[in-house]
Chains A and B, each alone.
Chain A
Amino acid sequence: GAVVSQHPSRVICKSGTSVKIECRSLDFQATTMFWYRQFPKQSLMLMATSNEGSKATYEQGVEKDKFLINHASLTLSTLTVTSAHPEDSSFYICSARDPGTGGTGELFFGEGSRLTVL
């Protein structure tokens, strides 16, 4: 199947700093990628839809200025957590649809990035 890769897999930062997480589709072009946040009891919350060449679409309750998303190419989307605070500590997962799979809607997921804010 298609491969999506995230980097870094783990990051620790100080409160007030910004952290960038990259999501790459390795063997396909993804016009749309999705960013999820996974909470300690497993639930996945959709944060935003990242659209190549245009602004991201954020879900209700997600702060656009806190979680900056850039999708500058067909294989790369980035999530920047700005002025991070301990409550932003979480597991962030990106996913993408491979257009080659047709309209089935299957998503391919990255390995996730664990952010710890001290």
Chain B
Amino acid sequence: GNSVTQMEGPVTLSEEAFLTINCTYTATGYPSLFWYVQYPGEGLQLLLKATKADDKGSNKGFEATYRKETTSFHLEKGSVQVSDSAVYFCALRPDTGGFKTIFGAGTRLFVKA
């Protein structure tokens, strides 16, 4: 079946450090891939997405590249800020039709000043 595995947290970084949150997936065909972010006390919101192999999604300094060969969609940011502290969810939407979205377990990021 379809599933998403992402690195366990929490991840604690100092401001301006480099961030990588690993995400791998299991799915047939060509799913669409997403990163969602949940700031403290808020609902989830879309951070970035990629809909086909080798696409790079980017937003707010975050990037992730859809790697079909390694079934991965790792999230990266070159220089994190305190305001990036949140929970990050990797997710996929199968290409079998419909819009059901499967989420990873989430990775909590703490950024210290």
Query: Interface residues, chain A, CB within 8 Å of chain B?
Result: 1, 4, 32, 34, 36, 41-44, 46, 49, 93, 95, 97, 104-112
B46 contacts partner chain A, Cβ-Cβ < 8 Å: yes
Interface size bracket, B side: 20 to 34
On whether the beta carbons of B108 and A104 are closer than 8 Å, the reply is no
Distance in Å: Cβ of A102 to nearest Cβ of chain B: 10
Of all chain B residues, the one with the shortest Cβ separation from A105 is B93
On whether the beta carbons of B87 and A32 are closer than 8 Å, the reply is no
Total inter-chain residue pairs, C-beta < 8 Å = 62
Instruction: A109 to B45: give the CA distance in the assembly, Å.
Output: 7
On whether the beta carbons of B106 and A104 are closer than 8 Å, the reply is no
The A contact surface, by secondary structure, is strand
What residues of chain B lie closer than 8 Å to A4, measured between beta carbons? 43
On whether the beta carbons of A46 and B101 are closer than 8 Å, the reply is yes
Instruction: A24 to B106: give the CA distance in the assembly, Å.
Output: 25
Query: Interface residues, chain B, CB within 8 Å of chain A?
Result: 32, 34, 36, 42-46, 49, 51, 87, 89, 93, 98-106, 108
On whether the beta carbons of B101 and A107 are closer than 8 Å, the reply is yes
Of all chain B residues, the one with the shortest Cβ separation from A110 is B43
What residues of chain B lie closer than 8 Å to A110, measured between beta carbons? 43
Partner of A105, one of B34, B44, B87, B105: B34
Given contacts A42-B106, A105-B32, A109-B44, 18 further A-B contacts (CB under 8 A): A32-B98, A32-B99, A42-B87, A42-B105, A44-B103, A44-B106, A46-B103, A49-B100, A93-B44, A95-B44, A95-B101, A104-B49, A105-B99, A105-B101, A106-B46, A106-B49, A107-B99, A108-B46
